[in-house]
Each structure stands twice: as C-alpha cells, then as structure tokens.
Chains A and B, each alone.
Chain A
C-alpha cells in the first residue's frame, strides 16, 4: 500500500522521526489494537491510537454513556449520554481519522467470548474498570500469547505494566487473585480525579505504539505508578514470579473463569 499526499501530510510529524519514518508509519497502519473498555483509560488511548493511524482498532464495551462518565471519559460528549459507548467512540474516531477501520464489540467480555475476540489483534489495551475483568484479560492474554498493557486507577493514583506473556511479569505475578468483594473501593465508591485516566491511558497508547514500532523499552518487569497529588512517577522493578498461579512454574490456573459469578456462587452457599 502507498500513502496518498493527504496521508503523508497527516502523518508527517511521525514520518520525520528517525525511529518511525514511512516504514514505521506503515507498521502503525497495518497494526490491529483492541481496547477493552471505552471509559477513562480507553478514551485517551483510543483517541491517540486513532490519531496515530492504527489501521484497525477494536473497541469492546457493553455500557452506555452516563453523565457521570464525562468528567474523565473524554472520547464521549454531552450529547452521547445514553448512547452505547462503542457507537460514541466509533463516531469520534471516524471523525478524527477516516483511515482507521473501527471494529466494535457491544458486549462485556467473559471467559466464553474473550479468546475469540482478542485473537484477531496484535496488542491489547486493558481499560476495564473492575477486578474480575482485569484478571480475565490477564489470563486470556497469557493463554493466547497476546502482549497487553494493564492499567488501574483510583482516587489520585494510577499504575501500569506491560505484559509479554511467558516472558515478563504478569498482573497475577503481582496480584495473585482479585481482592475480596468490597475490600478495595471502586472509582464510583472512592472517586477518581479525571486527569489520572488521561495520564495512564495515554501511557497505554504509547506502549501499543512502541510495541508496533519495535522501538524503545516497554514497561515490562516493572510497575510504573503515578501519584497525581505529588506529580511523581515511580518505577518499581518486579521479577516474574515463579509462584504465579497462571504463568509460574507450576500454574494452577489452566482455564479462564469469570470471578463475579464465582463470588456470587460462594455468597449463595
């Protein structure tokens, strides 16, 4: 494929970079990135990936836009309230960059459907907003050998790590299993400063683009944390855990599971 004059102009600030060039931009144009969750993290990630010209962007989200989302979920606008997030996000991406092929999945990912969806993509961005989903994304990406970026935010804090399955520290190497229900508050319960979603989500887009370009160093084998009150990043080296239940030496988790359902079952008993 050759770029048109308009495309050369659109991507000129990338192409002029020594580490990108036409060759690197072509890699971006041919790349397929899936963003799971079109919320606080997903919004900036989607916008930057679209602006960069990522050829295929998948968006998975089963929610509709709520007024309380707009304080941080910058891909959605006031007129989008009650509209499915995937539709709202797709419209913004199409307006921003018609080069992008947007594929939408209007569903919450589960142990049943996630593998079939992620297998079509080169890199996954976890922008989900709950622990069962974050553990599901981790395990599915490990089993399917899909590199992905994890991030989580709460109050004024955020953290992110990029995972190359089988090679680098995974989410479960650090956090073996989801915390008990209601021990750790959600953003809805504890609040979250809007810009922290922008900072972490943008870091996730950067990881996807570096992975595509095969340039620089990914946030692997370290957890990067950001404190928005202190405006301070910390970089915590964490070795791959031989006792990890999913990617360790003797894994005990060998198939996908949906934690929320498991928790409900326990409660009923």
Chain B
C-alpha cells in the first residue's frame, strides 16, 4: 500500500505499524521523534498498536534544540 511519509510517496506492506515504519525508515530511537498522522500527533505509547492505512500522511517531526 502507498503512504505519504514526510511528503514523499512510500510503498509498503499493508497493516504496517508505526513502530515498524520507524524501523523501516531507520529512525533508531522513538525518543528522537514525534509522529504525526493526518495532522494529529500520535502519543508514543500507541506506536506499537497503531497500524497505518492506505494514503495516510505521516510526518516524523524531529527535535531541534539549537538556537
């Protein structure tokens, strides 16, 4: 199925969970990102139980602490 990940089309197997997608995209630690699905922030405790649907828009939002 097709997802939009960080603004780009991403082809993946159906029923992939958020944590599996993070692994697939080489995000080493869930502590490093916030995940947004279709405009809503997903709390970290739901990363393993949330499965993505076709055409979902997913954004990995990274911490940036510099100034």
Interface residues, chain A, CB within 8 Å of chain B?
A: 37, 39-42, 126-131, 134, 151-154, 157-159, 173-176, 179-180, 183-184, 186-187, 192, 197, 223, 234, 236-239, 241, 243
Q: Are A158 and B61 in contact (CB under 8 A)?
A: no
Q: Are A128 and B63 in contact (CB under 8 A)?
A: no
Known contacts A174-B41, A183-B32, A238-B39; A154 and B66 CB within 8 A of each other: yes
Question: In the bound complex, how far is the Cα of B59 from the Cα of A236, in angstroms?
Answer: 8
A204: min CB distance to chain B, Å: 10
Closest to A237 in B: B39
Question: In the bound complex, how far is the Cα of B65 from the Cα of A152, in angstroms?
Answer: 5
B53: min CB distance to chain A, Å: 18
Interface size of B by CB at 8 A reads 19
Which 10 A-B pairs rank lowest in CB-CB distance, beginning with the nearest? A152-B64, A187-B66, A129-B67, A154-B64, A153-B66, A184-B63, A41-B67, A131-B65, A154-B66, A237-B39
Q: Are A153 and B67 in contact (CB under 8 A)?
A: yes
What residues on B are CB-neighbors of A192 within 8 Å?
66
Question: In the bound complex, how far is the Cα of B36 from the Cα of A39, in angstroms?
Answer: 30
B50: min CB distance to chain A, Å: 14
Closest to B28 in A: A183
Q: Are B64 and A153 in contact (CB under 8 A)?
A: yes
A selection of 6 A-B contacts at a CB cut-off of 8 Å is A40-B66, A130-B65, A134-B65, A184-B65, A238-B39, A238-B41
B63 CB contact (under 8 Å) in A179, A197, A239: A179
